[in-house]
Amino acid sequence: MTSPSSDEAARPISNANAPLGPSNEETLSHVLGTGSGFPLRVTANAGLNNSDLTESAPQTPEDVLPRDIQLKTPTYDYAFEKSMSHTEAKLFYQHHQLATRNVGDSDELSKAAAPTTTCVPTSLTQRDLVDTAKIPRDGFQSTIPAIAKQPSPIVRHTDSNPDTIDTPFGSPNTEDLEQQKASEAPSILQSLSEQHILSGTSSLGNPGDGLGAVQGIMHISPGANVIASDLDVICRKIKSLLDRRATYMNLSLQGPENNPKDAPDWQIYPPPPEPAWDDDKDLGKIHDRPRADHKRRKMGEDVGEDFDMADCLPLPEESDWVFELDENSVYQVYEGDSARDSRRPVVKIPSLRDFYMDLDAVTDISTDGPAKSFAFKRLSYLEGKFQLYTLLNEYQEIADSKKVPHRDFYNVRKVDTHVHHSACMNQKHLLRFIKSKMKKSPDEVVLFRDGKHLTLREVFESINLTAYDLSIDTLDMHAHTDSFHRFDKFNLKYNPVGESRLREIFLKTDNFIKGRYLAEITKEVISDLESSKYQMVEWRISIYGRSIEEWDKLAAWVVDNKLFSPNVRWLIQVPRLYDVYKSSGMMQNFEQVITNVFKPLFEVTKDPASHPKLHIFLQRVVGFDSVDDESKAERRLYRKYPIPREWNTKQNPPYSYWIYFMFANIASLNTWRKRLGYNTFVLRPHCGEAGDPDHLAVGFLCCHSISHGILLRKVPLLQYLFYLDQIGIAMSPLSNNALFLTYDKNPCANFFKRGLNVSLSTDDPLQFAFTKEPLIEEYSVAAQIYKFSAVDMCELAKNSVEQSGFELSLKKRWLGSNCSAPGVMGNNVAKSNVPDIREQFRHETLLGELALIDRYCLRLADEATPRSNLAPPTKLTESDISPAQDTA
């Protein structure tokens, strides 16, 4: 941008005393930008004469067709845009010049011959502006902090005399200046008190305060009732969606305070190792504390040797409550036989019809034009605000990080929040393991096929391979070249050397050798994790729903092989493969899948002695996942979906149908388990990786957090909702790069800058990773491509811990004793290596956006609230869970 020419600067404003027309009055009161900055008012004669305004005015309706008339919307005013673009450019230039000049340059500034518009409160002189432009070293830093502290600015014109103020009707004399100020003060204060800044509260000292102009999406002047009413509607819609999600989360007990395992008295067995350093004690006295009488082992060695089944006995007694599968294929829990006979469950699950009505409401609002524009501009503002914050506070963050002893990115806790267990090792590790078994146990019987038993040597002879022939290229399990948009080929990469029999031998838990090989390589991976000390994983392991014995077999595999580690927790993934089961004749209807997946869980909750190993295993299970190729087309053949008992066709149910029945049964199960003091489960499915963006609406409504979520870039309103509610997103850019979206187009960096709750995960190290530490590899590639700083990577690591299902006692050890508190109160820079200034920025920015929504919702607070058939209490209490209650 260049400075206006001297001729243009010297040109007087014509017709200054002429009356303002309607368009000029509207321009006078129109306000650009909000954000956390202050509003900017521009007078009608700010650099433009009446002829300029006339030329830029829109054509009359007689000159154009009705369809070509540019209508004013809540987010765009054609007439104002055309008339004020040049003035806005001048304003930015002049504001930049004033903000960057030193006090000694005031003489040069006074040489300007013509008045120019600057966004300065009348109470500040030119010298005050320059003084306040100096940036402090502590706390949040903005370009003009003093201006941000003002209630609201008004327009000021700077003439050759920096202490004179222009009015729309000419410049007053020097002797009349004080009298004018005194007369204007009451009206100015009154007008300032009536103004509303659209984003955030005025007390937030966010970077960018005082930059004015178009920081936010718009500012509503006191008289702009039409635009304000549109904003009321948009904000009420957003608030209604947040309320619907809160209803579903409270109903299913997926909230942060609903899990009994987060209680201080929860016992973790086997217990985690004692910390090497304690805040409350000296290093020399840490080993003097009394220790429990249980086995201890060195981390990274003898994995599982500190576990003893006898220590878990006796098991809890049988519960008096009963459960039953209702006519809608949802397990209902009752306080007794009498409550079951009268159909009074302890919690009322929303019906399938209610769920789809709520889902339609989410999708309708997410595709609403004004709501999409509002969300898109708010997200753009959040991203720009973070970039400004980084420019102003980058060196302060580095200085704060350097003050923390013994803490950097490598030794802050980080959790791999999304990784599939059967692909948890890298190719080199699997190759080395296969070769060692070929060398040490070639004559061990490992497979029964076609009516005969086969040894390991015979299996390799049948595929014409020897141990010497094996290599990384021979295994052919990497998916970084030929699997793009080919999920079918990616699934084949799970077969070593392209042979399903090798996958059955080495990568399955239920095979002829009862998954012993997979257990051995799992222990090797656990040993590597424990040796690293700071890397944790949440492995996803499959329950297919083909047989009701799957749970007992899986639990026996974990318990018998002692796969317990303080670095490992488990999630249960349920593949959406009903169509495959139905085609092969294994299933009669979809209800059988629901029964096979959930009935054993209700049985073990009622009586842990009925499945003792499953009861012990479930203490390390944190949630459920739903997996399959999301890009598959979902053809709706039904106007109204049938219940699972009547779903007997070969068509696979849609994604939303699967998620609803998982949610409904988990909600019922969690209510029972919490009452008994057992740990509860959350729903964390694959969502938004490919396919229909409506999957994200389902994830928003029913799920604690999601994996992937890259399709959020196409649905700005849902992305904004994910930000407002801080829903966790476990992203895997390397996985997406191989399957659906190249690395440079991945929205991970944009999500992070905007403040979404993002963490990095590996997904499938066997297919995508090259190194021994795939999680560090994921972070390192992201840091190189996205230019993440050390603070950014530590913030991502902290997000991963907060998203994870590890017990609160462990999170407090990793992040600080107040880690559950919001903002700076919950941050311990000595643990997380995230400076307080970053946490403060994130927290106050979020509060500002929530305040924005609440402000415009309160305008119509007395009107009827949106429909909700659920209407549960904010938190379920003992009185809420009773047989006499018909609604939850």
Query: Which positions ≥6 away from 46 have C-beta within 8 Å?
Result: 87, 91, 117, 155, 157
Count of alpha carbons within 13 Å of 377, Cβ hemisphere only? 19
Q: What backbone phi and psi angles, to 5 degrees, belong to 78?
A: -60, -45
Q: From 672, 647, 667, 649, select the one nearest 657 (Cα to Cα).
A: 647
Alpha-carbon gap, residue 227 to 91, rounded angstroms: 25
Distances, alpha carbon 364 to alpha carbons 227, 356, 359, 692, 871, in Å: 21, 12, 9, 15, 21
Is the Cβ–Cβ distance between 460 and 475 less than 8 Å?
no
DSSP 60-116: PTTTS-GGG----BTTB-HHHHHHHHHHHHHHHHHHHHHHH--GGGHHHHTT--S-E
Alpha-carbon gap, residue 405 to 133, rounded angstroms: 34
Q: From 718, 32, 36, select the one nearest 372 (Cα to Cα).
A: 718
Two structure tokens written together for 142:
């903005």
Alpha-carbon gap, residue 570 to 621, rounded angstroms: 5
Is the Cβ–Cβ distance between 146 and 140 less than 8 Å?
no
**Burial (CB count within 10 angstroms: exposed 0-12, middle 13-18, buried 19+), residue 450:** exposed
List of long-range contacts for 687-693, beta carbons under 8 Å, 24+ apart: 687/630, 688/630, 688/712, 689/630, 689/736, 689/739, 689/740, 690/487, 690/629, 690/630, 690/631, 690/739, 690/740, 691/629, 691/630, 691/631, 691/632, 691/634, 691/655, 692/630, 692/634, 692/655, 693/718
Two structure tokens written together for 737:
């790069």
DSSP H or E run through 683:
strand 682-683
Q: From 208, 199, 233, select the one nearest 31 (Cα to Cα).
A: 199
Query: Which positions ≥6 away from 858 have C-beta within 8 Å?
Result: none
Q: How many helical (H) and strand (E) elements, i.e. helices and strands, does the chain have?
A: 33, 17
Is the Cβ–Cβ distance between 731 and 751 less than 8 Å?
yes
Q: From 459, 422, 466, 464, select the one nearest 444 (Cα to Cα).
A: 459
Query: By three-state DSSP, how is residue 311 classified?
Result: helix
Distances, alpha carbon 127 to alpha carbons 62, 102, 124, 171, 215, in Å: 52, 9, 8, 20, 25
Q: What backbone phi and psi angles, to 5 degrees, belong to 882?
A: -140, 155
Single out the catalytic residue among 30, 418, 695, 708.
708
**Length in residues, the chain:** 888
Query: Which positions ≥6 away from 161 have C-beta within 8 Å?
Result: 110, 174
708 is catalytic: yes
Q: Give the residues across from 626 on adjacent strands.
A: 574
Torsion of CA 453, 455, 458, 460, to 10 degrees: 120
Distances, alpha carbon 171 to alpha carbons 47, 98, 168, 186, 672, in Å: 15, 21, 8, 21, 76
Q: How many CB atoms lie within 10 A of CB 46?
A: 22
DSSP H or E run through 416:
strand 414-420
3-state helix/strand/coil string of 484-512: CCCHHHHHHCCCHHHCHHHHHHHCCCCCC
Active site residues: 708
